[in-house]
Structure 1
Amino acid sequence: MTARDNRLHAFRPDLADARLEGEVSAERFVAGRPARVAAPVADVRRAPRPDAGLNTQLLCGDDVLVFDEAEGFAWLQAERDGYVGYVSAADLAPRAADPTHVVTAPRSFVYPGPDMKLPRVRALSLGSRVTVTGEAETRGTRYGLLPSGEAMVLQHLAPIGTVAEDFVSVAERLIDTPYLWGGSSAFGIDCSGLVQLSMHMAGRDVLRDSDMQAGALGTPLDPGPDHSALRRGDLVFWKGHVAIMTDAANMIHANGHTMTVAREGLREAIARIGYLYGGPTGFRRP
């Protein structure tokens, strides 16, 4: 990663973020237009095409700055982690009332009204942000009411600013979530997405990709010759991969072997991964 990594700085030959003027070359510079993700999950692609590769995802309620919009795609930067890419313009909306609550269940439904027997409208991931304007109760279940008149189970929401005590426990709640390259939600997630989302729910926003995390997250750690110095919450990095230690011997990671978020012994993982990608490249304590 460099100071001008185009994953984290919005610049192209024809256009760049006005904040980068004097630092990068571009035909013109513009200020970003504030917008907010309105879709449950917004795919951030590396090019403005529906078949372009997925780099990461944004969640409902995430704030962004839009620098360009053309042919149905917005070129933007996420405010939470600084990631730059192309998102379907249909997934965005103007910023209205500030979100008041965050989804704390792995996944939660939005209903057309305060009744779980109504057909669901959509589902939101852990970490999504919504605006609750009131409350209602139906048959003993309390609901948060959204500006649209829709409703969500209030037990699945917490006021903005509520944080989990242990980010590893958040990751453990996502066990069996399908693996998705570039995924950042509880519908599908990759290794560094699991680290980022879990830590976000614990009140700590970190960079998105595993190489960024390996270079900047926490402090380097000497695990000792038998890895006995490791403890819960430490991170293990391989080339292009990261796992979270749940104790000195075991870890949790989103991986392409099981194609899920899964538990695995560190020793077993090192042996299994080694013949394809080599041994761990580093250990860090967040």
Structure 2
Amino acid sequence: MTEILDRRLHAFRADLADEALKGRVGAGTYVRGEPARITVPVAPLRASPDLACGIDTELLLGETVRVFDRAGGFAWLQADQDGYVGYLPETMLGLPQEPTHLVSVPRTFVYPEPELRKPPTAVLSMGSRITIVGEAKTRGTRYLTLPSGEAVIARHCLAIGDTLGNDYLAVAETFLETPYLWGGRSGFGIDCSGIVQLALMMVGKQAPRDSDMQAKIGTAITREELRRGDLVFWKGHVGMMEDDSTLLHANGHTMTVARENLDAAIERIGWLYDRPTGYRRLD
């Protein structure tokens, strides 16, 4: 009997599946998947090979994936970061050098050389992985240089393995006023679970991608126990507590990352999504 698995986290189709799922799902062929990296600043991942299909999540520059199939200009793959499965244009993939640094601010520019007066060549999000081959200084500003000769501001980057401390809320707060984007996971647009996952990643903690998955992490608590860093869940939504009464969340009401009084949020959200489904404290 074929096991029912979450298509978001398991790569399987009638014709093809991840070889790790052999014996768990039926498929015409099983493959291991080939490694690749994201080569564009932000790569939207979709449930089907169709640019008109809604975005499930986004992958960032330098993140690694396993590619199971390439057809019609799309690649079907699984992200190594959180296991999410989907499709994106295969032109967004390649095998660049092993990254050495992470972008550690919500957004930063890439310059054609170590000179901030030059027009930028790209914009990168927090969490992007880049390869640094040198350093330079121009009028007192320190830059890190890429293999292409391009440069980024040194203070906007962390060496891989380093973190932004242990207060993930402080990281999330840097995204205030960032536009809300369904499926977004970058400094250009982000959704409720995307900001939780990205902020935790930057303090060295792993979290699943979607709110229903995140609702299983940490320890259940009561509303009366809420404090900074705790998570509040609704059906299809998650927010983070800045203190015992203030919620920080990417939301479709303000269409931004915003602060909101928790009681007011519960009242406002309740007509559509009912009351909160749970409260969690991260371990």
Give the TM interval when normalised to the shorter protein.
Answer: over 0.9
Residue 46, structure 1, aligned to residue 42, structure 2: no
Q: What is aligned with 2:187?
A: 186
Cα distance between partner residues in 2 of 1:17 and 1:116: 45
Name the counterpart of 1:121. 121
Deviations 1:166-209 (A, max 9, x none): 00001100000000000000100000001001101110111000
Equivalence for 1:30: 31
- Looking at structure 2, the residues matched to 145 and 118 of structure 1 have their Cα atoms a distance apart, in angstroms, of 15
Hey, what's the Cα distance between the residues in 2 that align with 1:3 and 1:59? 29
Which amino acid in 2 is paired with 1:123?
V
Q: Deviations over 1:67-110 (max 9, x none)?
A: 0011111100000100000011111112x421111001110011
Q: 1:209 aligns to what?
A: 210
Matched position secondary structure for 1:204: coil
1:280 corresponds to which residue? 276
Structure 1 residues 50-129: aligned runs within 5 Å? 50-94=51-95, 96-129=96-129
- 1:11 deviates by 0.5
In the TM superposition, what is the alpha-carbon distance from 1:3 to its structure 2 partner? 7.3
CA distance in 2, matches of 1:158, 1:115: 20
Aligned residue-pair number: 279
Q: Take 1:276 and 1:87, find their aligned partners in 2: how far apart are those partners? A: 32
Aligned amino acid, residue 83 of structure 2? G
* 3-state SS of 1:198 partner: helix
Per-residue Cα deviation, 1:249-285 (whole angstroms, up to 9, x for no partner): 1110000000000000100101111111111000111
Counterpart of 1:148 in structure 2 is 148
Mapped to 2, the partners of 1:183 and 1:283 lie a distance apart of: 23
> Alpha carbon RMSD of aligned pairs, Å?
1.0
In 1: Cα distance, 2:252 partner to 2:21 partner = 37
In structure 1, the partner of 2:242 is: 246
- 1:133 alignment counterpart: 133
Which AA in structure 2 matches 1:59?
Answer: L
State the alpha-carbon separation in 2 of the partners of residues 73 and 205 from structure 1: 28
1:193 match: secondary structure:
helix
The SS at the match of 1:168 is helix
Aligned-pair identity in percent equals 57
Instruction: State TM-score, norm by structure 1.
Output: 0.96
Give TM-score, length-normalised by structure 2. Answer: 0.97
Q: Which runs of 5+ in 2 are unaligned?
A: none
For 2:131, the aligned partner's letter is: T
The AA in structure 1 aligned to 2:112 is: P
Which residue of the partner structure matches residue 157 of structure 1?
157
- SS of the equivalent of 2:199 reads helix
Mapped to 2, the partners of 1:119 and 1:283 lie a distance apart of 46
Distance 1:150 1:100 in 2: 15
Q: What's the secondary structure of 2:208's corresponding residue? A: coil
Q: Does 1:198 align with 2:199?
A: yes
AA aligned to 1:106 is P
- Runs of 4+ residues deviating >3 angstroms: none
Per the alignment, residue 228 of structure 2 pairs with 232
Give the equivalent residue in structure 2 for 1:269: 265
Partners in 1 of 2:115 and 2:5 — Cα distance? Answer: 49
Secondary structure, counterpart of 1:158 in structure 2: strand
- Distance in 1 between residues matched to 2:118 and 2:71, nearest whole Å: 38
User: What SS does the corresponding residue of 1:11 show, helix, strand or coil?
Assistant: coil
CA distance in 2, matches of 1:74, 1:241: 29
